Amino acid sequence: MNFLDRLKYQVLVGDGATGTMLYSRGVSLDANFEHLNLVRPGLVQELHAEYIAAGAQLIETNTFGANYTKLQAIGLEKKLRDINLTGAGLARQAAAGKDVFVAGSVGPLARIKGEEREFTTAEMIEIFRQQCQPLAEGGVDLLLLETFSALPQLQCALAAAKETGLPVIASMAYLETGRISGGIKVEQVVASLAAAGADVIGANCGAGPLEILRTLRRMAAVTDLPLAAFPNSGFPEYLDGRYIYRTTPDYFAEMALEMASAGANLIGGCCGTTPAHIQRLAERLKGLKPAARHAQPVAAVAAEQREPEQRKGGFLDRWGKEPVVTVELEPPRGLDCSKVLAGSRALREAGADAINLAENALARVRVGNIALASLIQHEVDIEVIVHITCRDRNLLGLQSDLMGASLLGIRHVLAVTGDPASLGEQAGASSVFDLNSFGLIKLLTDLNAGVNAAGTPIGRGTGFTIGCAFNPNSPKIEVQLGRLEKKVASGARFVQTQPIYDLARLDEMLAKTAHLNVPILPGILPLVSERNTEFLHNEVPGIVIPEEIRARMRGKEKEAGVREGLAIAREFIAAARGKVGGFYLMPPFGKYEIAVELVKFIKQ
């Protein structure tokens, strides 16, 4: 009897955690578990044998992270096929002569380090195809797509897996609200996966058995397809340098009985579960038949749409009526904010519309820009655009700080990925990058719509005006244009560019972005000396200074350099005035007096 037929007549027992068990045997969390298929096959096969001896009727290959994106990060991408083929063979050998199914484990993709753009659908399908095909060739009975948090990615994995002709389990890691990223409800996920051809739909990982049980009940109410449940062993506790899971095998087995009663056809374990958990599970589920279900299928629909919070007023209200000017000031390295406050006052009096505050630019520590923005807005009465990076906070911290910024009256956010921590002077600092700029814009849009990244309501919308960066100096401007189009589609409502010195490039940028219909403020960074000019041109990414401008700055230092740099900036502004609705000024070295002169020139 094949796998799908067995599920109709018997609740099957899956295996438990692979990573947890390998870690308990001395394999470092920093090690690549999948590479063990090639370098320590005996250890992997021994683990399979333990789960079979405990009563598992389905074991998973040790290939969860054996896809190109994860292997490429550690230089193992050329071994992708061997790792998957060998992983399938090891599990197949362990199950030989036994009444045990082998599932090829396939996990989600990682973002490739240094690559900000998102994968296309075709690229994702191809990456999953590279993993699914060798697993099928290795003799697995089915493919288990597990621990996915993004529905589009799972749908791509499902498309690649279906090409093998094997049965496919499509399993997601749900949040405590029974939703996934983007706020999509479990019922909608089930309908979408069923429509995409999943043979079994599942839930795994997550918070623990109780949450999986709740999710499973909702699944069972809307589909007649077989269901799989692989919960974690509760929440882990960090003790003496190790992660310890407290859920006992008895409790785990009791919860599994409830899952079977709720409609689960296949039950195993995820993080923290051991052969002891599976043994007790197998004892309690022995001979159990699937529970009868009377589902009422729902249509596959998109996530709930909420209208973003709309705030009236703001610096962009003047767009098209008068030139809009934003000016970037540097937050101080310490707690003395007198200079930035003085600069903000002078700029406000000169007619500037908003102050920009970068966040630890070049990965160098400065005072927190959200707190400083609140101080400036209250003491100077000028709007502030806060730059938020993805480098310094994980997804939890980003959401928390952004909601806090909204409470403080911050209305404008420029979403940027951020310079890597390795550029800075803080030894030991690490880059987080849970999101990139695209993901951050999407998060800000969700918060504006009154929900967090999990789709959980937050009471009201944050009301941010979302901005993004654009590099018009790139030799591949079409690539940058594609990125900008995606940012605008995700919710960006204004654009600030890298410093631009070439009028021909400005004209090209304006022509190619006209269809986006969003305010674009070209960056103006006044030059101050020959040395400064050559540094910017040769060492700062994203800045290109034409030869004729560099020639004008040759031999210019101190006051003469400042005068010539201001003259160049004025000429550029005068030529661009009728083409753009505003400018983004970046005074060099915190010299806000230079920006004051340019603001007066623009506003005259």
Q: What is the pLDDT of residue 296?
A: 83
Same domain, 358 and 409: yes
Please compute the mean of the pLDDT values over residues 295-311 and round it to a whole number: 61
Please compute the mean of the pLDDT values over residues 475-503 and round it to a whole number: 94
Instruction: Evaluate whether residue 94 is within a structural domain.
Output: yes
Instruction: Evaluate whether residue 546 is within a structural domain.
Output: no
* pLDDT tier at 178, thresholds 50, 70, 90: confident
Q: What is the mean pLDDT of the chain?
A: 92
Please compute the mean of the pLDDT values over residues 406-410 and round it to a whole number: 96
Non-local CB neighbours of 137 within 8 Å, separated by 6+ positions: 85, 88
For the stretch 163-176, pLDDT in tens is: 999 999 999 999 87
Q: What is the pLDDT of residue 208?
A: 84
Q: What is the pLDDT of residue 245?
A: 59
Instruction: Evaluate whether residue 209 is within a structural domain.
Output: yes
Give the separation between CA 255 and CA 251, rounded to whole angstroms.
6
Q: What is the pLDDT of residue 312?
A: 52
Q: What is the pLDDT of residue 352?
A: 97
Decide if pLDDT at 502 tops 80.
yes
Q: Is 554 helix (H, G, I), strand (E, B) or coil?
A: coil
**Cross-strand pairs, 228:** 202, 266
Q: What is the pLDDT of residue 372?
A: 97
Nearest to 368 by CA among 390, 401, 399, 396: 401
Instruction: Evaluate whether residue 223 is within a structural domain.
Output: yes
Decide if pLDDT at 44 tops 90.
yes
Residue/partner pairs of 568-575 with CB below 8 Å, 24 or more apart: 568/501, 568/526, 568/527, 569/524, 569/526, 569/527, 569/598, 570/598, 570/601, 572/500, 572/501, 572/503, 572/524, 573/524, 573/598, 573/601, 573/602, 575/503
Three-class secondary structure assignment of 491-506: CCCEEEEEECCCHHHH
Q: What is the pLDDT of residue 84?
A: 98
Q: What is the pLDDT of residue 298?
A: 76
Instruction: Evaluate whether residue 406 is within a structural domain.
Output: yes
Decide if pLDDT at 419 tops 90.
no
CATH number (domain holding residue 441):
3.20.20.220
For the stretch 201-211, pLDDT in tens is: 999 997 789 99
Query: Burial code of 577-593, b = ≥16 C-beta within 10 A, e = fewer?
Result: eeebbbbbbbbbebebe
Which of these three, 285, 304, 323, is where a domain ends? 285
Which of these three, 230, 263, 285, is where a domain ends? 285
For the stretch 65-107, pLDDT in tens is: 999 999 998 999 999 999 999 999 999 999 999 999 999 999 9
Q: What is the pLDDT of residue 118?
A: 77
Please compute the mean of the pLDDT values over residues 520-547 and round it to a whole number: 94
Q: What is the pLDDT of residue 463?
A: 94
* pLDDT tier at 453, thresholds 50, 70, 90: confident
Cα angle, residue 448 at apex, residues 447 and 449 outer, rounded to 5°: 85
User: What is the distance between the terminal CA atoms of the chain, rounded to a whole angstrom?
Assistant: 84
Non-local CB neighbours of 79 within 8 Å, separated by 6+ positions: 35, 38, 71
Counting Cβ atoms within 10 Å, is residue 2 exposed (0-12), middle (13-18) or buried (19+)? exposed
Same domain, 238 and 324: no
Q: What is the pLDDT of residue 189?
A: 95
Instruction: Evaluate whether residue 319 is within a structural domain.
Output: yes
Same domain, 370 and 479: yes
Decide if pLDDT at 39 tops 90.
yes
Which of these three, 285, 305, 329, is where a domain ends? 285
Q: What percent of the chain has pLDDT over 70?
A: 95
Q: What is the pLDDT of residue 349?
A: 97
In this structure, of 136-145, 239-248, 360-369, 525-534, the range with the lowest mean pLDDT score is 239-248
Q: What is the pLDDT of residue 288?
A: 96
Instruction: Evaluate whether residue 2 is within a structural domain.
Output: no
Beta-sheet pairing, 324-329 with 354-357: parallel
Same domain, 241 and 380: no
Please compute the mean of the pLDDT values over residues 362-380 and round it to a whole number: 95
For the stretch 104-153, pLDDT in tens is: 999 999 876 555 667 899 999 999 999 999 999 999 999 999 999 999 99
Same domain, 271 and 175: yes
Please compute the mean of the pLDDT values over residues 1-19 and round it to a whole number: 95
Give the separation between CA 165 and CA 8, rounded to whole angstroms.
20
**Cross-strand pairs, 238:** 243
Domain with 448, as residue range(s), is 315-526+581-603
CATH number (domain holding residue 69):
3.20.20.330
Instruction: Evaluate whether residue 184 is within a structural domain.
Output: yes
How far CA 160 is from CA of 152, 156, 188, in Å, comes to: 13, 6, 21
Cα angle, residue 71 at apex, residues 66 and 72 outer, rounded to 5°: 145
- DSSP character for 2? -
For the stretch 565-579, pLDDT in tens is: 999 999 999 999 989
Cα-only R_g, the chain: 28
For the stretch 539-588, pLDDT in tens is: 888 899 999 999 999 999 999 999 999 999 999 999 999 899 999 999 99
Same domain, 252 and 324: no
Q: What is the pLDDT of residue 61?
A: 98
Domain count for the chain, please give it.
Answer: 2
Same domain, 265 and 191: yes
* pLDDT tier at 14, thresholds 50, 70, 90: very high
Same domain, 281 and 326: no
Q: Specify the higher pLDDT residue, 262 or 540.
A: 262
Same domain, 186 and 319: no
Token digits of residue 535 = 């540094």
Nearest to 85 by CA among 46, 38, 42, 124: 38
Q: What percent of the chain has pLDDT over 90?
A: 78
Greatest mean pLDDT range, 2-11, 307-316, 451-460: 2-11
* pLDDT tier at 307, thresholds 50, 70, 90: low
Same domain, 230 and 356: no
Same domain, 230 and 121: yes
Phi/psi at 33 (5° precision):
-60, -40
Same domain, 351 and 245: no
